[in-house]
Amino acid sequence: MKRVSSGSPLEGEIGFSRAVRVGNFTAVAGTAPIPGGSGRVDTLSVYEQTRLCLQIVRKAIEDAGGHVDNVIRTRIMLTDISTWREAAQAHGEYFSDVKPACTLIEVSGFIDPAWKVEVEADCWVA
């Protein structure tokens, strides 16, 4: 088993890994748009927040020994489902050739009210 950290301060507090790889399977946890350094997320659009989530997801997958081409499923959680096209645009930029199974779902909120989106991913690395 391989555990991957993204350095999020919440990993220790909550007790989770950004990603866990067991054999050929990698699961990436719900990934919020947490910018590096002192960046602010509350000024970012849903599209920009989704891209940031996907950048963090991609790094976690690569740190676990995979590649975005290995993604078999994604879940995009939004606080406002009417913004799904913005999230879908960012998702398409990463996965238009891969075409994983994808679910978009509306949730009531996240830990930080400035977050508009979180992304999860599952991978299979043969």
Token couple for 76: 């995009």
Buried b (16+ CB within 10 A) or exposed e, 90-123: bbeebbeeeebebebeeeeebeeeebbbbbbbbb
Residue 112 confidence (pLDDT)? 95
Residue 30 structural domain? 2-124
Query: What CATH code is carried by the domain that includes residue 43?
Result: 3.30.1330.40
Question: For the chain, how big is the Rg over CA atoms in Å?
Answer: 14
Question: How many beta carbons lie within 10 A of that of residue 26, not counting itself?
Answer: 25
- Report how many domains make up the chain: 1
**DSSP codes, 35-82:** -STT--STTS-HHHHHHHHHHHHHHHHHHTT--GGGEEEEEEEES-GG
What is the tens place of the pLDDT at every residue in 62-85?
A: 999 999 999 999 999 999 999 999
Region 97-116: what's the mean pLDDT?
97
| Per-residue pLDDT tens digits for 16-34 | 999 999 999 999 999 999 9
